[in-house]
């Protein structure tokens, strides 16, 4: 009787396990932000952020090498023309000056003595000419060493501001090594970067409005003075300078400014997608296109330009198609997703 009871229990257990194994599994779809590709036109509102710089900005250095024993300015110091900025150790140059002066005095005495001897006929004209040549060479050497002694002092040639200090006291410098970055205070500019998409729209002489992030709300009028014809190899943008006349006490070097050019007519319609929708596969850009059954396929596209509002697509995508706008690196080809509409 007991054996029959255990047999019944075992049969029921095996039946329950089989039922669990045959239960169908529910597949969970990955949610993904998607959006429809639409055509838009460029508004012509050209705004660029930049930094205030001096038009005339140079690196200052000593004409000779030596040990830096004094630096009298720091970054941001306002200096006047002729002001001493830094000094080198002048011990060696002073010795050279004394040696050259001694050689000059000796050559001068020899030349005077030979002139007197020549007047009495005791020496030839050739001997006197040799002494005169030695005197001229000694005079030149004395002047050269005197100039080099003056090169141990670095002075400001114009009124301006020290933009940066590049060395510290105690360093041994080579000839021509940059010590300070000096900016003249006569004319300021805004250094900006023009993207490829806007390069053809900008020309030297364009008028712009310059706004500062100081909270005063007042703007100045500027002019596009310089536009590079060579793009930066990394950012693919073109360096530009917008000049303006600053108001005293209002503008300082290094401040952030916003440059706004006059609005132009809207350009032709463009396909612009979010930057987060671009999947970079090596050197080829691509996007995940959503099919009717909510599956994704990776499609190569050609990007004409990258802007703040998105990437401009010129080939590989059409208006009305649905793409994945975020999380593109977590998908796989043919995967079925749950659509989540993103804001246009």
Question: What is the full per-residue pLDDT of the chain (344 aa) written as tens digits?
Answer: 455 555 545 555 555 554 444 445 555 788 888 988 887 655 455 788 899 888 888 999 999 999 999 999 998 888 999 999 999 999 999 999 999 999 999 999 999 999 999 998 898 999 999 999 999 999 999 999 999 889 999 999 988 889 899 999 999 999 999 999 998 877 889 999 998 878 888 889 999 988 887 765 567 889 999 999 998 888 889 999 999 887 655 677 888 888 998 755 444 567 889 888 999 887 899 999 999 999 999 999 998 877 777 888 888 998 889 999 888 888 888 999 988 876 55
290-294 long-range contacts, CB within 8 A, separation 24+: 290/34, 290/321, 290/322, 290/323, 290/324, 290/337, 290/339, 293/336, 294/29, 294/336, 294/337, 294/338, 294/339
- Residue in 264, 238, 236, 84 with CA at minimum distance from that of residue 157: 84
**Domain shared by 276 and 233, yes or no:** no
- Residue in 213, 208, 188, 189 with CA at minimum distance from that of residue 198: 208
Which pLDDT value is given to residue 17? 52
User: What is the residue whose two structure tokens read 């350009």?
Assistant: 267
* Residue 12 maps to a domain: no
Which pLDDT value is given to residue 20? 47
Enumerate the H helices of the chain as residue ranges: 2-21, 91-119, 125-150, 196-199
pLDDT one-digit tens code per residue, 33-74:
898 888 765 545 578 889 988 888 899 999 999 999 999 999
**Domain shared by 164 and 310, yes or no:** no
| Dist. CA 160–CA 166, nearest whole Å | 17
- For residue 113, what is the domain's CATH number? 1.10.287.470
* Residue 6 maps to a domain: no
- Residue in 293, 284, 301, 290 with CA at minimum distance from that of residue 331: 290
**Domain shared by 98 and 145, yes or no:** yes
| Dist. CA 322–CA 292, nearest whole Å | 9
* Residue 15 maps to a domain: no
Chosen domain end from 166, 183, 200: 183
**Domain shared by 74 and 95, yes or no:** no
**How many domains does the chain fold into?**
4
Strands 269-273 and 311-315: antiparallel
pLDDT one-digit tens code per residue, 104-127:
999 999 999 999 999 988 989 999
- For residue 169, what is the domain's CATH number? 2.40.50.100
Chosen domain end from 127, 162, 183: 183
Chosen domain end from 101, 132, 150: 150
**Domain shared by 84 and 162, yes or no:** yes
**Domain shared by 223 and 311, yes or no:** no
Which pLDDT value is given to residue 2? 53
* Residue 236 maps to a domain: yes
**Domain shared by 276 and 247, yes or no:** no
**Domain shared by 199 and 213, yes or no:** yes
Which pLDDT value is given to residue 216? 59
**Domain shared by 84 and 164, yes or no:** yes
* Residue 24 maps to a domain: no
85 is in which domain, residue-wise? Answer: 60-89+152-183
**Domain shared by 67 and 106, yes or no:** no
* Residue 16 maps to a domain: no
* Residue 10 maps to a domain: no
* Residue 4 maps to a domain: no
Which pLDDT value is given to residue 174? 94
CB-based contact 287:279 (threshold 8 Å): yes
Would the pTM of this model clear 0.75, i.e. be above it? no
Q: How far is CA 278 from the centre of its chain?
A: 25
């Amino acid at each position: 009787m007991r054996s029959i009871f255990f047999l019944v229990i075992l049969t029921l257990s095996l039946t329950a396990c089989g039922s669990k194994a045959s239960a169908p599994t529910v597949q969970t779809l990955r949610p993904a932000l998607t959006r429809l590709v639409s055509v838009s036109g460029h508004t012509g509102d050209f705004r660029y952020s930049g930094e205030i710089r001096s038009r005339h900005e140079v690196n200052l250095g000593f004409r000779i090498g030596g040990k830096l024993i004094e630096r009298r300015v720091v970054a941001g110091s306002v200096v006047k023309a002729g002001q001493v900025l830094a000094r080198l150790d002048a011990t060696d140059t002073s010795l050279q000056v004394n040696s050259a002066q001694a050689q000059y005095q000796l050559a001068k005495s020899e030349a005077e003595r030979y002139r007197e001897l020549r007047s009495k006929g005791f020496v030839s004209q050739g001997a006197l000419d040799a002494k005169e040549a030695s005197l001229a060479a000694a005079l030149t050497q004395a002047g050269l060493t005197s100039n080099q002694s003056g090169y141990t002092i670095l002075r400001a040639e114009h009124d301006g501001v020290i933009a940066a200090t590049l060395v510290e006291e105690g360093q041994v410098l080579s000839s021509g090594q940059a010590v300070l970055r000096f900016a003249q205070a006569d004319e300021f500019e805004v250094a900006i970067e023009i993207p490829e998409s806007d390069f053809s729209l900008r020309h030297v002489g364009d008028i712009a409005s310059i706004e500062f992030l100081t909270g005063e709300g007042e703007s100045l009028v500027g002019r596009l003075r310089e536009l590079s014809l060579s793009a930066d190899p990394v950012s693919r943008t073109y360096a530009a300078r917008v000049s303006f006349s600053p108001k005293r006490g209002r503008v300082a070097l290094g401040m952030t400014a916003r440059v706004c050019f006059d609005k132009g007519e809207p350009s032709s319609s463009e396909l612009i997608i979010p930057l987060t929708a671009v999947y970079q596969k090596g050197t080829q850009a691509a996007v995940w296109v959503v099919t009717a059954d909510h599956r994704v396929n990776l499609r190569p596209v050609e990007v004409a330009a990258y802007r703040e509002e998105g990437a401009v697509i010129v080939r590989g995508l059409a208006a009305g198609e649905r793409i994945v706008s975020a999380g593109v690196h977590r998908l796989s080809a043919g995967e079925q997703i749950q659509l989540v509409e993103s804001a246009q």
